[in-house]
Structure 1
Amino acid sequence: MHDRSASVDWAQYTAFGLRIASELKLPELVRSASEAIEDVVIHEADLTAWSDQLEQANFVMQGERFMFQIPGTAIFAVREGREIEVCPYPGADMDTVRLFLLGSCMGVLLMQRRILPIHGSAVVIGGKAYAFMGESGTGKSTLAAAFRQAGYQMVSDDVIAVKATTSVPVVYPAYPQQKLGLDSLLQLEALQGNKYLHSPKHRLVLTDGHPALPQYGDLRKLTGELNKYAVPIADEFYNEPLPLGGVFELVAEASNRKFLREDELPVVTEQPLNVLGCLHTLLLHTYRRGTISRMGLGEWYFGTAARMARKVEGWRLLRSSSAFTASEIVQRVLELIHKEENSYGSH
């Protein structure tokens, strides 16, 4: 473990079920007052000796250290699930450095600790965490935000940390922030009158002064993310581990099914997933799954996903790509979970 210098002002945080000591300030994370020994250390280091090798490949394995670079931003090294080294390039935007630190680096670190990172959002329903996965643009974060508007707490956005146990898989909370696009913010605003949703406690406003949302308070635009904003969710964040109750795969479907006019199509339809379907969904939506073979974790990865798939319920939700359907999906998800709980209760 890195020898921490007494001259550096180290900050203590918690995220993904881990105690983190960081030389870099990480305002997105929950501060910790605990004096317990940290699980992870994050610090700056000179990694420029690896620049030439990283120019030739996206990733480099150097012993137990997984290294990658983001041109113009930083070189990162993640070691043994316990240490992250950061070498920012001169003039680098530190918001962008933290974006990759809390995303790609944490995804690799979780896998090194044998915790499966799922790409999606998770909310708390009935004392369990439910994961929402899907390709980019299918509405994962927007749906999670709609659940927040409906009074449900959020566990994570972007990276869902899931640990396989002998009983049920456990989800560890990430940190109280969402990434939402401008379109989603506008559409969520339009949902305020929906009977399934309530008004949020706080009003937020875009920092670039977008005229469409003059009633909002300051939101930080995410550098390197096209029209995405950092939305703080401290009041709606659940910061304790939870059992994984189920998985939902979101699929945006064009409204062109044969023999049906568009106005006859259901806005949301669901398909239950069997064990193989759940396994395929977990494998497909693993965060940064392209790095797994490079780290030699293929056998662990498949075995872990298979164990999880046998212990959770799963559904594929098909939504119309021509309409914003978050409120309808919220309603349908709650109905499916309630039906599943009643089904178990009847046995």
Structure 2
Amino acid sequence: MHDRSTHVNLTMYTAFGLKLASELYLPELIPAAPGAVEDVVIRQADLTAWSDQLEQANFVMQGEHFMFHIPDTAIYAVRGGREIEVCSYSGADPDTVRLFMLGTCMGVLLMQRRILPIHGSAVVIGGRAYAFVGESGAGKSTLAAAFTQAGYRMVSDDVIAMQATASETIVYPAYPQQKLGLESLLHLKALQGNKHARKSNHGLALMDGNPAMLKNGHLRKLTGELNKYAVPRVDYFHNKPLPLGGVFELVAESPNREFQREGELAAVTEQPLNMLEFLHTLLLHTYRRVIIPRMSLGEWHFGTAARMARQVEGWRLLRDSSAFTASEVVDRVLDIIRKEENSYGSYSFDEGS
């Protein structure tokens, strides 16, 4: 285990709308501007006194103090929305330590700060953030990557930080990295050069029969993730808060009559969600939602999701799971948003918007 040092330098980063002062090196994150005041401190600490208790339970809750344990990786403590402590095991993979710190720890910390973490990806369209949610394998990250390949900017992947005000929901940018499977990477490579794609300095390439790599360097395989790779998106990242424009729930299904349209099999079909269906979707796809009752945040969770469901529209997109449909889903999403915003007249969908 790491011994906590009494004299360490803290590096300032920005993520999820917060300034993070960290003892741990976090190369995935964007450095904060000079002189920034931290919202959260991330430290290494000796948490071994909790080892026995954590081996008997998945996590431990004591008020605003949340602790959990990942075997052979680390013990983590998240305190009051302001502090994350990490106790790494000797020999633990640093990438894996950061994976849980930037995932579960940040999800819990956001909830402690009453910012709702939604499990999904988000991109900028017409000056607003649109979120894509769904079960694992539904195609959330792949769709966001297809949008960036078409010239749109990414806001978040995996954890979307949302805060509902009285009049709108604000989406805070996460950090410029995506988790993409090898199959998706290969399909996106094949799409390069089509009507959606634009030229990139970070095109995907296959080299020497190895898994997908960037032309300018190897993609890092994520430990513990089956054939998933960390894909940097610095060139396509929007790093300012945005109002939420809407939410799309992605559902991958086998071809059936749901995809039947005018006598032909449609690759993608949409279903508008009524307010109750949309509310259920937000509650269902809240990141790490199983711990919310233990944190006594059930009333806040429901109230926040209900407010969001009243402020924006939600849709369910059914896509053919037997085919790679990212390009078709991009088309359908843009069509839906154009129709929704048609009355505004000046809505822009230019690349890079």
Question: Normalising to structure 2: TM-score of the pair?
Answer: 0.92
Residue in structure 2 matched with residue 163 of structure 1 by the alignment: 163
Residue in structure 1 matched with residue 351 of structure 2 by the alignment: none
**Matched AA of 2:315:** W
Residue 31 (structure 2) pairs with residue 31 (structure 1): yes
Q: 1:10 to 1:164 in 2, by over 3 A?
A: same
Secondary structure of the 1:247 match is strand
Any conservation in 2 of the 1:206–1:220 contact (CA below 8 Å)?
A: no
Q: 1:5 to 1:52 in 2, by over 3 A?
A: closer
Q: How does 1:81-160 map to 2 (within 5 A)?
A: 81-160=81-160
Residue 195 (structure 2) pairs with residue 195 (structure 1): yes
Q: 1:106 to 1:206 in 2, by over 3 A?
A: farther
Query: Separation in 2 of the partners of 1:168 and 1:259?
Result: 34
Q: 1:45 to 1:252 in 2, by over 3 A?
A: same
Any conservation in 1 of the 2:185–2:204 contact (CA below 8 Å)?
A: no
Query: Separation in 1 of the partners of 2:225 and 2:34?
Result: 33
Q: CA RMSD in A?
A: 2.1
1:67 CA displacement = 0.4
Secondary structure of the 1:199 match is coil
Secondary structure of the 1:218 match is coil
User: In terms of mean alpha carbon deviation, does 168-177 or 336-345 score higher?
Assistant: 336-345
Gaps of 5+ in 2: 347-353
Any conservation in 2 of the 1:133–1:247 contact (CA below 8 Å)?
A: yes
1:201 CA displacement = 2.9
Any conservation in 2 of the 1:120–1:132 contact (CA below 8 Å)?
A: yes
Query: Separation in 2 of the partners of 1:215 and 1:90?
Result: 31
Deviations 1:233-282 (A, max 9, x none): 10100000000000000000111338969x93100100011111111110
Secondary structure of the 1:43 match is strand
Q: 1:72 to 1:36 in 2, by over 3 A?
A: same
1:89 CA displacement = 1.0
**Matched AA of 1:37:** V
Query: Separation in 1 of the partners of 2:54 and 2:6?
Result: 32
Gaps of 5+ in 1: none
Residue 317 (structure 2) pairs with residue 320 (structure 1): no
How many residues end up aligned between the 2 structures? Answer: 341
Question: Normalising to structure 1: TM-score of the pair?
Answer: 0.94
Any conservation in 2 of the 1:205–1:218 contact (CA below 8 Å)?
A: no
Residue 255 (structure 2) pairs with residue 255 (structure 1): yes
Query: Separation in 1 of the partners of 2:203 and 2:106?
Result: 30
Secondary structure of the 2:341 match is helix
Q: How does 1:66-77 map to 2 (within 5 A)?
A: 66-77=66-77
1:59 CA displacement = 1.0
**Matched AA of 1:171:** V
Residue in structure 2 matched with residue 58 of structure 1 by the alignment: 58
Indicate the percent of aligned positions where both proteins have the same amino acid: 75
Any conservation in 2 of the 1:204–1:219 contact (CA below 8 Å)?
A: no
